[in-house]
């Protein structure tokens, strides 16, 4: 059984309205930030909801138009009630929750890329899925940005008709296969997997590492170097093709629900029509790779809101020296810092959504956002972990799970260091990559 965060029920509130007290609150003890006497009363009667139950102090959600705000509240409630607590056992067992995936599909999370919603809405969906479970947010993000996005933007009409209906319903999955055992940060220049055209078919050879959903996907989107012109191209490789093997990478310290795989491609033959016509040169995928980097920035905000939720609930519940942890100044300072980090991340991402909507997003902003929110996330989960003492170590209390998951956000979609180098290259005009 999990012992962690007891979800605060989402509240429909108009812009600028404070949350009201409720008698059936899930958090046992709340605290008003007004007069101390009110606080005492709230503690004694155990009836108050903590202020700002959704921790959106800057009212970012209120920037959504009314229809998207309603949809946001509905999905958020589902994620908090259905996914958040349930994900912990799957995470502990490194198992994939196929049933939960189907439910995510019913809420439209497989079709965010093509359903015409705003960039801010899509980003806030990534935040809320990450707040419920970071692994599933990785699945939702990669699926939308790198699988649905690539096929929709770079695929043929035949490929779109074949794959998009199942993908957007989340009844089918793709895996994004770029990284290799010997090439991570230097993959663009170093990629070794080959493709050769032979009698009307492509033949692929090579190895891929860390590929999310590699063992459970219907196909992998494999990036390989065409031996004829040396360009890196994107190929749809169905996972039941002869010569394709995927082996689960076990014992990860984070993202344990995501089934990452080592993939071997041994003379895998696919029809010529499986080449993405828009991906005949790696630079064609750049815009989508830039957007997927921004997606991890949203994840960085979401994981910090999760850490805040858990730390606040715990500090209000746990008593030492005869009073709640929440009454100690050092605990309050850490809560304020986690929330400050989370809010700064969310506000940065909301502005990123604006420039993305205007078509002004470039790699430098995406890299800066990704590097910054994941750096802050690492600091926030470390504070949350120590705030919870020994119980912060156990994933059963959720914070331990977040602590491990933050490491992945810091490293994938370009490591923290590489994204920092991209930013600094842009602002100095000097590359320090090599």
Ligand X SMILES: Cc1cc2nc3c(=O)[nH]c(=O)nc-3n(C[C@H](O)[C@H](O)[C@H](O)COP(=O)(O)OP(=O)(O)OC[C@H]3O[C@@H](n4cnc5c(N)ncnc54)[C@H](O)[C@@H]3O)c2cc1C
- Positions in the binding site for ligand X (CB under 6 A): 142, 176-179, 184-185, 210-212, 252, 255, 260, 408, 411-415, 417-418, 421, 433
- The minimum distance between CB 232 and ligand X, in angstroms, equals 12
- The minimum distance between CB 187 and ligand X, in angstroms, equals 7
By beta-carbon proximity to ligand X, the closer residue of 1 and 250 is: 250
By beta-carbon proximity to ligand X, the closer residue of 277 and 404 is: 404
Work out the burial of residue 336: count CB atoms within 10 Å of its CB; fewer than 13 is exposed, 13-18 middle, 19 or more buried: exposed
By beta-carbon proximity to ligand X, the closer residue of 222 and 275 is: 222
By beta-carbon proximity to ligand X, the closer residue of 215 and 345 is: 215
- The minimum distance between CB 186 and ligand X, in angstroms, equals 6
User: Parallel, antiparallel, or unpaired for β 194-198 and 219-226?
Assistant: parallel
8 Å CB contact between 369 and 348: yes
Nearest to 377 by CA among 337, 350, 414, 417: 337
377 torsion bin: left (phi>0), alpha (psi -120 to 50), beta (else): alpha
8 Å CB contact between 313 and 6: yes
Work out the burial of residue 223: count CB atoms within 10 Å of its CB; fewer than 13 is exposed, 13-18 middle, 19 or more buried: buried
By beta-carbon proximity to ligand X, the closer residue of 75 and 220 is: 220
Rounded CA gap, 123 and 118, in Å?
A: 9
Nearest to 108 by CA among 144, 134, 138: 144
243 torsion bin: left (phi>0), alpha (psi -120 to 50), beta (else): left
- The minimum distance between CB 166 and ligand X, in angstroms, equals 19
By beta-carbon proximity to ligand X, the closer residue of 142 and 313 is: 142
Please give the residue whose beta carbon sits closest to ligand X in the complex: 184
By beta-carbon proximity to ligand X, the closer residue of 91 and 176 is: 176
Write out the two tokens for 20: 């009201």
- The minimum distance between CB 325 and ligand X, in angstroms, equals 32
- The minimum distance between CB 119 and ligand X, in angstroms, equals 22
By beta-carbon proximity to ligand X, the closer residue of 8 and 408 is: 408
By beta-carbon proximity to ligand X, the closer residue of 137 and 260 is: 260
- The minimum distance between CB 24 and ligand X, in angstroms, equals 39
By beta-carbon proximity to ligand X, the closer residue of 75 and 268 is: 268
- The minimum distance between CB 139 and ligand X, in angstroms, equals 10
- The minimum distance between CB 367 and ligand X, in angstroms, equals 13
- The minimum distance between CB 35 and ligand X, in angstroms, equals 48
């Amino acid at each position: 059984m999990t012992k962690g965060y007891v979800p605060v029920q989402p509240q429909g509130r108009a812009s600028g309205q404070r949350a009201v007290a409720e008698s059936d609150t899930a958090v046992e003890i709340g605290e008003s930030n007004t007069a101390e006497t009110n606080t005492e009363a709230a503690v004694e009667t155990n009836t108050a909801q903590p202020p700002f139950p959704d921790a959106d102090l800057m009212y970012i959600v209120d920037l959504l138009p009314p229809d998207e705000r309603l949809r946001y509240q509905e999905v958020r409630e589902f994620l908090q009630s259905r996914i958040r607590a349930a994900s912990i056992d799957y995470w502990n067992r490194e198992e994939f929750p196929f049933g939960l995936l189907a439910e995510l599909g019913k809420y439209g999370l497989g079709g965010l890329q093509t359903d015409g919603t705003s960039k801010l809405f899509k980003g806030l969906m990534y935040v809320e899925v990450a707040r419920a479970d970071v692994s599933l947010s990785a699945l939702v993000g990669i699926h939308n940005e790198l699988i649905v996005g690539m096929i929709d933007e770079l695929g043929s009409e035949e490929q779109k008709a074949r794959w998009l209906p199942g993908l957007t319903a989340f009844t089918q999955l793709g895996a994004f296969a770029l990284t290799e055992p010997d090439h991570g940060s230097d993959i663009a220049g170093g990629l070794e997997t080959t493709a050769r055209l032979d009698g009307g078919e492509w033949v692929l050879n090579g190895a891929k590492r860390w590929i999310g959903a590699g063992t459970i996907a219907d196909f992998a989107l494999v990036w390989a170097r065409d031996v004829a012109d040396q360009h890196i191209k994107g190929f749809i490789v169905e996972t039941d093709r002869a010569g394709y093997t995927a082996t689960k990478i076990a014992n990860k310290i984070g993202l344990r629900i995501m089934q990452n795989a080592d993939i071997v491609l041994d003379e895998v033959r696919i029809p010529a029509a499986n080449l993405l016509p828009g991906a005949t040169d790696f630079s064609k995928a750049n815009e989508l790779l830039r957007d997927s980097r921004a997606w991890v920035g949203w994840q960085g905000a979401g994981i910090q809101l999760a850490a805040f939720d858990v730390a606040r609930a715990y500090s209000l519940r746990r008593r030492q020296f005869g009073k709640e942890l929440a009454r100690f100044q050092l605990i309050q300072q850490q809560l304020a810092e986690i929330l400050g980090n989370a809010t700064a991340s969310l506000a940065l991402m909301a502005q990123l959504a604006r420039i993305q909507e205007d078509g002004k997003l470039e790699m430098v902003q995406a890299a800066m956002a990704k590097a910054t929110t994941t750096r802050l996330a690492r600091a926030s989960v470390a504070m949350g972990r120590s705030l919870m003492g020994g119980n912060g170590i156990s994933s059963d209390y959720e914070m331990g799970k977040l602590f491990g998951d933050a490491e992945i956000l810091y490293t994938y979609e370009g490591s923290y260091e590489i994204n920092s180098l991209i930013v600094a290259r842009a602002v100095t005009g000097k590359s320090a990559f090599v």
